[in-house]
Amino acid sequence: MIPADPTRRASAELREAGHADPATGAEAGALEPAREARYRALLGELAREAQQFRYRVAPNPCVGAALLDHDQEVARGFHTAWGGRHAEIEALRVLETSRGAAGRFDTLVVTLEPCSSHGKTPPCVDAVLATGVERIVIGGLDPDPRHQGRGVRILRGAGREVVVLDGSASLAEGSAHFLAWISHRRMSRGAPWTIAKWAQTRSGQLSPPLDVGEGRWISSPAARAEVQRWRGEVDAIVTGVGTVLADDPRLSVRGPELPTYPPARVVLDSTLRTPATARLLAPPAPDERAGPVFVLTGRGADPSKRRELEDRGAHVEEIGTAPDGKLSLEAAQRWLWRHCVRRILLEAGPALLERWIAEERVDQWLVYEGAIEEGRGPSLRRTLESARLRTVRRRELGVDTVLEAFSG
């Protein structure tokens, strides 16, 4: 179900509260109809183009921006990755790259109200004001509780002309995932945005036959390189002790784009079976970034095992268990949230993935299907077929197929 567009609601609430109507007030009315129509068309185009980055920016909204000089577009920018530059900032960077100090513009057109608080990046309103731009045309207010018209008020308070053309860049259409994310129900749950990622054979199994890919690799090097990029764009990578024992992964980031802050590595391990010799606990190589290791375990962990892992640099944290003795996924999510983790990549084996899916804790799906028919272990094919998926995209990546989707 697509939620009602809160952008319009926010406008109405501001009107009722006696604030200048950011949607259809005098400024919007003062626009010549032909100019307003051009802005609306541009906003619609930017909003559509921004959607191509939806999986990489989620749970953030898809946002696009353009800079105009005497009605001529001189630069365009998009929010292309979670934690990355916001669209307005990217458009400014594009202009600077193409025209240097000679780059001039008088109007900023952006599909969403510029943000006004520090998130992963500094507030866009400050950067916008610093440019001296005269007119800011906005596709809708940001329903994020931190914003909701604050950006518009700040810009107007600084004497800039702000026009809000409601409905020209609907969040309900292009960023339903964002509306679900900022809903009160979701926020009060304290659950990070979860991207379930796995590679499977055509039979839906997560391990290849022993004589294929060293019994380990299903997807091609291109797909594996892409996973490195995904790892650099989350706060934490979460796995289970079963995967640590079976695959002995590093869960680090390697490759050309190394993040400044590598994601934390989190192992769900109810009885502390993680070996002190696990490769996770070895120091990073010069060409890789590896985040701190947290082992989440049940209450009353064996003190000597705990010490062994702690001596190797791991942080051992006790959280609640479910009635079946397994770690409570809800407790794990709350622990992550309390530690400021907002977006995770779940790189686990079939059993933990099945639990996470069955408890409806997966928000986004990233499934690499290799060109291998059969494999080993349980198949996730049925699970995937019966999952409620929304905005599904299938794309080719070399010999692999990638399925991306949001939970419905």
The single-letter code of the amino acid at 143 is: P
The residue annotated as part of the active site, out of 88, 308, 369, 404, is 88
Cis? peptide before 59, omega within 30° of 0: yes
- The encoded tokens of residue 235 equal 């706060």
Q: Which of residues 260-319 bind Zn ion (CB under 5 A)?
A: none
Q: Is residue 377 within 8 Å of residue 211, measured between CB atoms? A: no
**C-alpha to C-alpha distances, 189 to 143, 182, 217, 305, 354, nearest whole angstrom:** 19, 11, 36, 32, 21
Binds Zn ion (CB under 5 A): choice among 124, 244, 319, 345: 124
Strands (E), 133-283: 135-138, 161-164, 193-200, 205-207, 236-240, 253-254, 264-268
Q: Which is nearer to ligand AOF, 121 or 401 (CB)?
A: 121
Interaction between residue 147 and ligand AOF (CB under 6 A): yes
- The encoded tokens of residue 261 equal 């802050």
Question: Residue 49 catalytic?
Answer: no
Interaction between residue 44 and ligand AOF (CB under 6 A): no
Q: Which is nearer to ligand AOF, 115 or 223 (CB)?
A: 115
Distance CA 122, CA 85 (A): 9
Alpha helices in 158-251 (DSSP H): 171-174, 176-181, 184-189, 221-231, 241-247
Binds Zn ion (CB under 5 A): choice among 43, 115, 162, 362: 115
Size of the site for Zn ion (CB under 5 A): 3
What does DSSP say about strands 376-379 and 264-268: parallel, antiparallel, or unpaired? unpaired
Binds ligand AOF (CB under 6 A): choice among 10, 68, 115, 357: 115
State the minimum distance, in angstroms, from the CB of residue 126 to ligand AOF: 11
Q: Which is nearer to ligand AOF, 44 or 240 (CB)?
A: 44
State the minimum distance, in angstroms, from the CB of residue 98 to Zn ion: 21
State the minimum distance, in angstroms, from the CB of residue 84 to Zn ion: 11
What does DSSP say about strands 64-69 and 72-78: parallel, antiparallel, or unpaired? antiparallel
Binding span for Zn ion by CB under 5 A among 112-120, 173-181, 229-237, 374-382: 112-120
Q: What angle is formed at CA 384 by the lines to CA 378 and CA 386, rounded to 5 degrees?
A: 115
The listed partner (Zn ion, ligand AOF, none) that binds 142, CB under 5 to 8 Å by sort, is ligand AOF
State the minimum distance, in angstroms, from the CB of residue 33 to Zn ion: 30
Q: What angle is formed at CA 189 by the lines to CA 188 and CA 191, rounded to 5 degrees?
A: 125
Find the farthest-apart pair of alpha carbons in the chain and give their distance in angstroms, rounded.
75
Binds ligand AOF (CB under 6 A): choice among 67, 94, 137, 144: 144
Interaction between residue 120 and ligand AOF (CB under 6 A): yes
Distance CA 311, CA 276 (A): 9
Interaction between residue 50 and Zn ion (CB under 5 A): no
State the minimum distance, in angstroms, from the CB of residue 115 to Zn ion: 3
Q: Is residue 174 within 8 Å of residue 45, measured between CB atoms? A: no
Binding span for ligand AOF by CB under 6 A among 81-89, 186-194, 304-312, 314-322: 81-89
- The encoded tokens of residue 375 equal 């494999």
Interaction between residue 269 and ligand AOF (CB under 6 A): no
Binds ligand AOF (CB under 6 A): choice among 56, 76, 79, 265: 79
Distance CA 206, CA 189 (A): 30
| Binding footprint of ligand AOF on the chain (CB under 6 A) | 60-61, 63, 79, 86-88, 112, 114-115, 119-121, 124, 142, 144, 147
List active site positions.
88
Per CB under 5 A, residues contacting Zn ion are 86, 115, 124
